[in-house]
């Protein structure tokens, strides 16, 4: 996941099948003051505050990538249905392949969980975006919900083309010497290896309750991690913090590991493994 043309092209050249941008809003945002990121024993805690250059300036980055024929999924965030719709229209105009509606940031007040935890609002926003665009629309949901399936079904009823699960887990770190939260925003989103079991569980539950594809996200660093998500019901996966753990060539490494596992276990097509763990 990234937001400038150079880094997106570089990641694609390392073997990614598509690129998901950082979430973009209508207006520029500086994000929260430092510290915004802290590495923990089993993952990464961050509260960036959705920093971005604005949708108008971001269009220039997307246009630079057109000549490379790179599939781009434009991630957007907004405070209401009107903003999401306007952003989606602009993303489509810029030439993205699909749109991801980020309704699940755990630390951006007014843009994240306040929206993504309301089934009616999720359905309304998804429906309005779908009505105003002609490209696939995915809804990224949070694990910080009483029922991930309820929100996923709301997105599906709004005509979403797919569900992205999950976003980061709401978390905190305390500095024992200073006796205060480490992050300037106090609360952040936890990502990395530690959240994989949560992501797998969410994908498992969601894929049993919707008829649209599910994209698995969270703590994927190896081919075996990817297989867990696929067997849980994911049709595709996203990799974010895995780049931190294994470098930019993680995409090729995971593809190689998947190929070896499938050959060793007598499978020829990855699609035949989607949801096989459902019992």
**Could you tell me the CA-to-CA distances from 171 to 14, 41, 149 in Å, in that order?**
31, 14, 22
Under 8 Å between Cβ of 158 and 95? no
Residue 66 to residue 231: CA distance in whole angstroms? 34
Catalytic-labelled residue, pool 105, 122, 155, 250? 105
Catalytic residue list contains 105: yes
Q: Which residues are catalytic?
A: 105
């Amino acid at each position: 996941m990234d937001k400038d043309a150079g880094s997106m092209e570089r990641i694609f050249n390392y073997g990614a099948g598509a690129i998901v941008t950082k979430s973009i809003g209508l207006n520029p945002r500086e994000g929260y003051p430092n510290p915004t990121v802290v590495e923990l024993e089993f993952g990464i805690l961050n509260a960036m505050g959705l920093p971005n250059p604005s949708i108008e300036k971001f269009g220039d980055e997307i246009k630079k990538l057109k000549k490379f024929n790179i599939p781009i999924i434009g991630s957007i965030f907004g405070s209401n249905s009107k903003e999401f719709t306007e952003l989606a229209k602009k993303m489509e105009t810029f030439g993205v392949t699909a749109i991801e509606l980020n309704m699940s940031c755990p630390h951006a007040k007014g843009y994240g969980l306040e929206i993504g935890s309301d089934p009616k609002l999720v359905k309304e926003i998804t429906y309005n975006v779908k009505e105003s665009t002609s490209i696939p629309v995915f809804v990224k949901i949070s694990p910080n919900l009483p029922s991930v399936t309820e929100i996923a079904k709301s997105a599906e009823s709004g005509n979403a083309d797919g569900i992205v699960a999950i976003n980061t887990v709401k978390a905190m770190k305390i500095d024992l010497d200073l006796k205060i939260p480490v992050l300037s925003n106090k609360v952040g989103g936890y990502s990395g290896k530690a959240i994989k079991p949560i992501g797998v569980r969410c994908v498992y539950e969601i894929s049993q309750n919707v008829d649209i594809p599910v994209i698995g996200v969270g703590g994927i660093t190896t081919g075996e991690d990817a297989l867990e998500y696929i067997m849980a019901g994911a049709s595709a996966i996203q990799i974010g913090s895995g780049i931190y753990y294994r470098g930019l060539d993680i995409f090729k490494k995971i593809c190689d590991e998947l190929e070896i596992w499938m050959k060793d276990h007598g499978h020829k097509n990855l699609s035949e493994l989607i949801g096989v763990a459902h019992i």
